[in-house]
Amino acid sequence: MKTLNELRAFCEGYREGMPDEDIYSADNWVVWYEYDINFAGAMYSGHARNEDSLRVDAYRAGWTDSIGDPLYSFTLD
């Protein structure tokens, strides 16, 4: 499994690649290695602190019945 630092680096790169106008309304799901990652902008997450923030919730990839709690959660500003 990729480390938290590797996951964070991937997520920061993903955010950098997003057009600025898409960050606020983001609700994107990405599969990366053994993670299903949700990127949520301020429109969908109260954890996104401002219009340029993305909330990241990383779950174990391949979940089927119940998503459960995220393995990692953090906010990118």
pLDDT of residue 38: 97
pLDDT in tens, 11-30: 999 999 999 999 999 999 99
With 90 as the cut, is the pLDDT of residue 1 above it? no
pLDDT of residue 21: 92
pLDDT in tens, 32-57: 999 999 999 999 999 988 999 999 99
For the chain, the three-class secondary structure string (H helix, E strand, C coil) is: CCCHHHHHHHHHHHHHCCCHHHHCCCEEEEEECCEEEEEECCCCCCCCCCCCCEEEEEEECCCCCCCCCCCEEEEEC
